[in-house]
């Protein structure tokens, strides 16, 4: 998924997830001497071992009560970027992903414990789904007592409608795993049902079957072991046909969760109130403590942080789903002892990379020299420092299943880059003075990053041509296969914490095409066949360590890019709120158990 970006970068950022809030404003937290160690980020709770697939028992409601939680009160939510979608079918950004948890239920969902452990459990379904036919067929049974906000029951027909409407041509923004697995790769799946369900057509039972009101059966074209994760995307839920206003659904979705949309002013505010027809006994994840969520948009990080820090009036009950503390105010927050109980810094599933364009940089020694020379620590510093991330040492995020802390290029020991090794490699290759075209998106932070990257590369013996690219065209520019750039920042946020959502899209050579995520253009037959082999393993727990091994092999032998930092989420909320926890899959604040003290 993609975390919500700087206002306008949203789009350009699409695939380049990560970076999140960091990209705004300035960078570098603040001042005050070197006591940050103590008051600084705690140990990261978000680790690979946290993710498991739950059982039917885990999927039973109600959610365990939060100690000390009270009913009533209104939660103020300050967001920078306006939500441009409420339709669960269109949602793919972390801020909206977080918001929809309150009013939308999907087949499966993540149950997050206060310890940070996350389980995939049945949400509408009674469990995480059962596979048959070698993982090609997945069956979900719906729970009893599920209702929409008008009290009408949720049946398998509503889930079918929810999936089929994704085939309509206006549903362009959301993740399309399930439709693609069912009906065809890329956009070809739309041909299976060109108008969605709106003209009375439905997918054949051989593809999507609803034999009775409680059963949904998905028949994929190939086995997919990570189906429970894919059905946890918000668009695999229930949509009531009679209330489906198609495009206009984006402004007034019909709730299946504990809250419903009372008022939505596009670009301004969203008010969520209690949904009286939501039955806590069916829901293993959500609570309905607060009476209301008053979400408002357009708060820059600076004024949002200032307000929550000052806590005047209603700001005492203020939080943000996805906005981080302003990097310029890190010091103010960390030095304020009173914030200790109302902040967290956690690893997000987003990783920043500098991709090396292998179409142009054919010499592996040059790429290795680049990898050694890259000043990860300084790049992170420009992006906001320790509260914005931590130095990356390999391709997988620590929040990814199977992650191991390997560091083949010594990034921890050389945060400013290993100039000597880089120089030696470059000399060995006989390419001292090699010209590198470094493309970067033209934003404040990226301009500063360009300064440190250029410096480090020059020290190592490269000549650097900096090419700034307009933020609007950035993504198209670098995703053209025949682009004329050598290195560029990319990033990737896995949609779920399984490395099969990282290694294949980033490194499968058969994926290379305009717009694909294989920005380094790695096309190694050995890697491709290895990807196929691991993909075929049906136990994802068994596959995870093998993905890790493959990722490290690519990093040390092929070097299609170097990871720079793992993103962190630095959240602050008002002291009037309780029950706040980290949502490790979206990298945001989980609002489902928030209460007003």
Helix axes 540-553, 525-535, angle to 10 degrees: 170
Residues from 481 through 540 that contact another protein (CB under 8 A): 484-485, 514-515
Q: Which of 42, 205, 281, 310 binds another protein (CB under 8 A)?
A: 310
Which of 442, 575 has the CB closer to another protein? 442
Q: Does 44 bind another protein (CB under 8 A)?
A: no
- 161/101 Cα distance (integer angstroms): 19
- 477/189 Cα distance (integer angstroms): 26
- 146/88 Cα distance (integer angstroms): 18
Q: Does 350 bind another protein (CB under 8 A)?
A: no
- 466/322 Cα distance (integer angstroms): 32
Q: Does 173 bind another protein (CB under 8 A)?
A: yes
Q: Which of 447, 546, 556, 575 binds another protein (CB under 8 A)?
A: 447
- Quick count: other Cβ atoms within 10 Å of Cβ 533? 12
Alpha-carbon Rg for the chain, nearest whole angstrom, is: 23
Instruction: Tell me the site size for another protein, rule CB under 8 A.
Output: 88
Query: 478-492 burial, b for 16+ CB within 10 Å, e for fewer?
Result: bbeeebebbbbbbbb
The distance of closest approach from Cβ of residue 27 to another protein in the complex, given in angstroms and rounded to an integer, is 5
CA distances in angstroms from 563 to 350, 354, 372, 509, listed in the order given: 11, 6, 11, 19
Q: Does 323 bind another protein (CB under 8 A)?
A: no
Structure tokens at 21: 């809030």
Only segment of 96-104, 159-167, 213-221, 450-458 that touches another protein (CB under 8 A):
450-458
The distance of closest approach from Cβ of residue 328 to another protein in the complex, given in angstroms and rounded to an integer, is 5
- Quick count: other Cβ atoms within 10 Å of Cβ 394? 24
Q: Which of 125, 203, 232, 329 binds another protein (CB under 8 A)?
A: 329
- 148/216 Cα distance (integer angstroms): 18
Q: Does 26 bind another protein (CB under 8 A)?
A: yes
Only segment of 24-32, 49-57, 273-281, 419-427 that touches another protein (CB under 8 A):
24-32
Q: Does 471 bind another protein (CB under 8 A)?
A: yes
Q: Which of 147, 157, 466, 541 binds another protein (CB under 8 A)?
A: 466
Does residue 519 have a cis bond before it (omega within 30 degrees)? Answer: no
Q: Which of 19, 36, 127, 504 binds another protein (CB under 8 A)?
A: 36
- 470/12 Cα distance (integer angstroms): 9
The distance of closest approach from Cβ of residue 430 to another protein in the complex, given in angstroms and rounded to an integer, is 25
- Alpha carbon 519 to its chain centroid, in Å, reads 19
Structure tokens at 50: 């946290």
Only segment of 58-66, 272-280, 382-390, 400-408 that touches another protein (CB under 8 A):
382-390
Which of 263, 514 has the CB closer to another protein? 514
Q: Does 100 bind another protein (CB under 8 A)?
A: no
Say whether 477 sits in a helix, a strand or coil: helix
Which of 294, 326 has the CB closer to another protein? 326
The distance of closest approach from Cβ of residue 546 to another protein in the complex, given in angstroms and rounded to an integer, is 25
CB 350 within 8 A of CB 392: no
Q: Which of 175, 258, 389, 578 binds another protein (CB under 8 A)?
A: 175
What's the angle, vertex CA 334, arms to CA 330 and CA 339, rounded to 5? 115
The distance of closest approach from Cβ of residue 461 to another protein in the complex, given in angstroms and rounded to an integer, is 18
- 7/316 Cα distance (integer angstroms): 26
The distance of closest approach from Cβ of residue 103 to another protein in the complex, given in angstroms and rounded to an integer, is 19
**Sign of the CA dihedral 388, 104, 505, 447?**
negative
CA distances in angstroms from 217 to 139, 182, 211, 329, listed in the order given: 4, 11, 8, 50
Which of 516, 556 has the CB closer to another protein? 516
Q: Does 40 bind another protein (CB under 8 A)?
A: yes
- 493/502 Cα distance (integer angstroms): 8
Q: Which of 50, 322, 330, 500 binds another protein (CB under 8 A)?
A: 330
The distance of closest approach from Cβ of residue 200 to another protein in the complex, given in angstroms and rounded to an integer, is 21
Name the burial class of residue 25, with classes exposed (0-12), middle (13-18) and buried (19+) by CB atoms within 10 angstroms of its CB.
Answer: middle
Q: How many residues does the chain have?
A: 597
**Nearest residue to 566 (alpha-carbon basis) of 356, 398, 373:** 398
Only segment of 159-167, 174-182, 213-221, 519-527 that touches another protein (CB under 8 A):
174-182
Q: Does 263 bind another protein (CB under 8 A)?
A: no
Q: Does 267 bind another protein (CB under 8 A)?
A: yes
Q: Which of 70, 222, 265, 533 binds another protein (CB under 8 A)?
A: 265
- 171/180 Cα distance (integer angstroms): 13
The distance of closest approach from Cβ of residue 267 to another protein in the complex, given in angstroms and rounded to an integer, is 6
Instruction: Give 341-360 as a 3 state SS string.
Output: HHEEEEEEEEEEEEEECCCC
The distance of closest approach from Cβ of residue 416 to another protein in the complex, given in angstroms and rounded to an integer, is 7
Which of 112, 334 has the CB closer to another protein? 334
Q: Taking CB under 8 A as the rule, which mask of x and - marks residues 181-200 in contact with another protein?
A: -----xx-------------
- Quick count: other Cβ atoms within 10 Å of Cβ 413? 8
Q: Does 583 bind another protein (CB under 8 A)?
A: no
Q: Does 82 bind another protein (CB under 8 A)?
A: yes
Q: Does 437 bind another protein (CB under 8 A)?
A: yes
Only segment of 103-111, 113-121, 470-478, 573-581 that touches another protein (CB under 8 A):
470-478
Which of 144, 303 has the CB closer to another protein? 303
Q: Does 549 bind another protein (CB under 8 A)?
A: no
- 466/441 Cα distance (integer angstroms): 11
Only segment of 48-56, 192-200, 252-260, 321-329 that touches another protein (CB under 8 A):
321-329
Residues from 389 through 428 that contact another protein (CB under 8 A): 416
Which of 432, 451 has the CB closer to another protein? 451
Q: Which of 169, 263, 428, 557 binds another protein (CB under 8 A)?
A: 169
Q: Which of 132, 476, 529, 542 binds another protein (CB under 8 A)?
A: 476
């Amino acid at each position: 998924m993609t975390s919500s970006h700087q206002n306008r970068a949203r789009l350009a950022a699409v695939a380049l997830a990560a970076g999140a809030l960091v990209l705004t404003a300035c960078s570098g937290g603040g001042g005050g001497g070197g006591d940050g160690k103590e008051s600084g980020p705690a140990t990261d709770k978000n680790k690979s071992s946290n993710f498991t697939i739950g059982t039917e028992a885990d999927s039973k409601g109600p959610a365990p009560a939060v100690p000390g939680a009270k009913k009533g009160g209104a939660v103020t939510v300050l967001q920078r970027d306006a939500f441009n979608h409420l339709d669960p079918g269109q949602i793919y950004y972390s801020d909206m992903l977080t918001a929809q948890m309150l009013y939308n239920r999907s087949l499966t969902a993540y149950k997050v414990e206060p310890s940070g452990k996350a389980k995939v459990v049945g949400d509408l379904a009674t469990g995480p789904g059962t596979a048959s036919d070698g993982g090609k067929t997945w069956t979900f049974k719906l729970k009893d007592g599920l209702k929409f906000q008008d009290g009408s029951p949720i049946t398998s027909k509503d889930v079918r409608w929810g999936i089929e409407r994704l085939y309509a041509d206006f549903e362009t923004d959301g993740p399309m795993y399930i439709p693609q697995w069912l009906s065809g790769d890329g956009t070809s799946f739309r041909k299976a049902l060109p108008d969605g369900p709106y003209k009375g057509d439905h997918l054949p039972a051989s593809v999507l079957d609803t034999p009775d009101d409680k059963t949904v059966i998905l028949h994929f074209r190939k086995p997919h072991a990570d189906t429970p994760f894919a059905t946890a995307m918000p668009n695999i839920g229930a949509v009531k046909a009679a209330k489906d206003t198609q495009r206009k659904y984006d402004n007034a979705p019909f709730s299946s969760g504990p809250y419903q949309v009372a008022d939505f002013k596009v670009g301004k505010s969203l008010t969520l109130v209690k949904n009286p027809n939501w039955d806590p006994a069916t829901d293993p994840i959500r609570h309905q403590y607060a009476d209301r969520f008053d979400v408002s948009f357009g708060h820059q990080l600076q004024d949002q942080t200032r307000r929550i820090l000052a806590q005047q009036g209603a700001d005492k009950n203020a939080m943000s789903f996805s906005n981080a503390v302003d990097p310029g105010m890190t010091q103010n927050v960390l030095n304020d002892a009173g914030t200790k109980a109302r902040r967290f810094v956690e690893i997000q599933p987003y990783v920043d990379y500098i991709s090396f364009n292998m179409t142009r940089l054919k010499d592996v020694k040059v790429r290795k020299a680049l990898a050694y020379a890259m000043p990860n620590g300084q790049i992170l510093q420009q992006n906001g420092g320790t509260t914005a991330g931590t130095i990356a040492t390999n391709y997988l995020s620590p929040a990814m299943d199977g992650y191991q802390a390997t560091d083949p290029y010594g990034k921890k020991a050389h945060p400013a880059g290993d100039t000597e090794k880089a120089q030696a490699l470059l000399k060995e290759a006989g390419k001292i003075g090699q010209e590198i075209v470094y493309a970067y998106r033209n934003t404040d932070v990226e301009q500063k990053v360009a300064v440190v990257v250029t410096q480090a590369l020059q020290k190592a013996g490269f000549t650097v041509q900096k090419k700034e690219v307009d933020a609007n065209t950035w993504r198209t520019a670098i995703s053209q296969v025949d682009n004329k750039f050598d290195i560029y920042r990319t990033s990737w946020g896995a949609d779920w914490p399984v490395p099969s959502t990282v290694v294949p899209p980033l490194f499968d050579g058969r994926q290379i095409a305009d717009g694909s995520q294989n920005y380094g253009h790695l096309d190694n037959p050995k890697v491709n066949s290895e990807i196929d082999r691991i993909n075929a393993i049906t136990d994802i727990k068994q596959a995870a360590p093998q993905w890790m091994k493959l990722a490290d092999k690519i990093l040390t032998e092929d070097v299609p890019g170097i990871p720079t930092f793992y993103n962190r989420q630095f959240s602050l909320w008002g002291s009037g709120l309780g029950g706040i926890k980290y949502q490790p899959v979206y990298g945001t604040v989980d609002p489902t158990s928030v209460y007003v003290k």
